[in-house]
Structure 1
Amino acid sequence: MCTAFVSIDPASAVPVLLLSVRDEYAGRRWAPPDHHWPGHPTAVGGLDLVAGGTWLAVEPGTGPGNPAAAACLLNGFGTMAPAGARLSRGELPLIAVRDGGIGHLDLDRYDPFHLVLAGPAGARVLSWGGSGSRLEELDLPAGLSVVLNDGLEGLAANRTASELVSSLMAARSAHFRARFGATPRPEPQPGGGEDVAEAWGAWRPIVSGDGLEPDDPAALIQRREFGDGRIWGSSSISLLAFGPSGVRYDFGPAPTAGPADGGWRRVV
């Protein structure tokens, strides 16, 4: 139940903000953001140690002629790829930030997904419903948008059949849309020297959970036990701010997966 919030304000000095929360089984091993991929030497992101890809990749860029870019992956619902031909979705963010998109790929080899592509000029969502479907691409409007496993604003053509999962996504989206909407929008400067708390202001405690218990239906930082030894929950939080001069990328393990405060660090 990964979630991405995208705030776009063209008049701001930092026009695009991206918050990404990764939810996964606790036993799936991962490594914090770094330059993990020799084939993508300038890309930085967290490493999925199972499949070798990532849930979020960032190309820092060098300025207006080579703008920064990020791609955030969320699993979707629909028709799964043929088992013998399936490729890992974790390579998609790396390809997207390198090539500027994924339309040139044979997407029938990938399970359903939603991919958020963001940069200083704006953001868009690419949604794939699985083998035999059509790649849909939507530009995000000014304001706050929410991308879920059910797609942009939960309105993808292919959505979960689980009433529980649907209700949890709706509760999370509604609570945090209201919280961000009632809170001054921060302007973290890509080249600034502020620490994470200073840079993100009133948003920082909200993205760290906003005081909700991890089993609250609306929890952003969640932890759920299924009774058979499997634990599902939030593993990490990524905060990105895009401006004309580049990108600021802050990362922290979710409080249920690591230190509540001390784990935050600036990546770029």
Structure 2
Amino acid sequence: MCTVAVSIDPDADFPLILAGVRDEFVDRPWLPPAEHWPGLLGGRDLQAGGTWLAVDPAAGRAAALLNGHGVLAPADARRSRGELPLLAAAQGRLPDLDPRRYDPFHLVVADPAGARLWHWDGVELGREELPPGTHMIVNSGWEQGEENERVAFFRPLFAKAARPRSAGGSAAGGGWGEWGEWAFLATGAGLATGDPRAMIVRHALPDGRVFASLSVTLVALAPGEVRYDFTAEPRDPASFRRVLPE
């Protein structure tokens, strides 16, 4: 997963909204989200067995993983980073482990109370609390400036986008509402895949392999409520299917 947008508004029906885009080689096999692990939902990477985003419905919690930059783990001791979202969604934090066994990563853990970010560059492990507002995390980390063209373009748009409504909310019309602008933005807002600002990408590499955005996930969290939608058609905002509530 190469882009995560997080919106935190303590006064909203859904205080926490997360959008995640997964970028990967197109020939790497995977399965769409389901309860592939007891009590946890997420897409399953069939090569290493883990996931890029996990949701614990009972706890009302989600965890999303992005690859980072830095020093790689020793090949003879390396563990898959795909197990980290599963552990974090279940425990609500990065568990006690030896980070030196993992390649660099960024790990977002979210619940209705807010979101935390752990980042590991192969040398130092850090933790940050994301404040209320709209944030974007990419492979270089939590981008707070305007240097990253994708973040500079999309973050203001996510910040202004209407939020989905809670089933128990008092907003006019009631009900779950629709993802609307969030679905449109998370699927690329119509930008070409080659645009330097693009959220949805596709690159043909010299060796013939293709690296591309393969899926988009939308998660909204409120006390006692989880909404989880997913699409494997990352340029089509109308293609999301409901994972939760069933």
User: Equivalent residue of 1:218, what SS?
Assistant: coil
Letter in 1 for 2:43: G
C-alpha separation between the residues in 2 aligned to 1:95 and 1:190?
29
> C-alpha displacement at 1:209, in angstroms?
1.6
For structure 1, the residue ranges without an aligned partner over 5 or more in a row are 62-66, 156-166
For structure 2, the residue ranges without an aligned partner over 5 or more in a row are 169-173
- Alignment partner of 1:128 is 2:104: no
Q: TM-score, normalised by structure 2?
A: 0.90
Name the residue aligned to 1:160. Answer: none
Q: Deviations over 1:129-180 (max 9, x none)?
A: 11xx33211000111011111111178xxxxxxxxxxx7xx11111111222
Tell me the matched-pair count.
238
Name the residue aligned to 2:54. Answer: 57
C-alpha separation between the residues in 1 aligned to 2:25 and 2:129?
31
Which of 202, 207, 230 is residue 186 of structure 2 equivalent to? 207
> C-alpha displacement at 1:227, in angstroms?
3.6
Where in structure 2 are the equivalents of 1:16-27 lying within 5 Å? 16-27=16-27
Where in structure 2 are the equivalents of 1:189-200 lying within 5 Å? 189=166, 194=176, 198-200=177-179
User: Equivalent residue of 1:205, what SS?
Assistant: helix
Q: TM-score, normalised by structure 1?
A: 0.83
Which of 161, 168, 171 is residue 149 of structure 2 equivalent to? 171
User: Equivalent residue of 1:91, what SS?
Assistant: helix
Higher strand share: 2
| Aligned-pair Cα RMSD in Å | 1.9
Where in structure 2 are the equivalents of 1:82-121 lying within 5 Å? 82-121=74-113
C-alpha separation between the residues in 2 aligned to 1:125 and 1:188?
26
Hey, which bits of structure 1, 4+ residues long, moved more than 4 A? Answer: 190-194
Calculate percent identity across the aligned residue pairs. Answer: 49
Q: Deviations over 1:69-123 (max 9, x none)?
A: 1110001111111111100000011111122222411111111100000001100
Q: Deviations over 1:31-66 (max 9, x none)?
A: 1000112xxx000000001100000000001xxxxx
Name the residue aligned to 1:11. Answer: 11
User: Equivalent residue of 1:36, what SS?
Assistant: strand
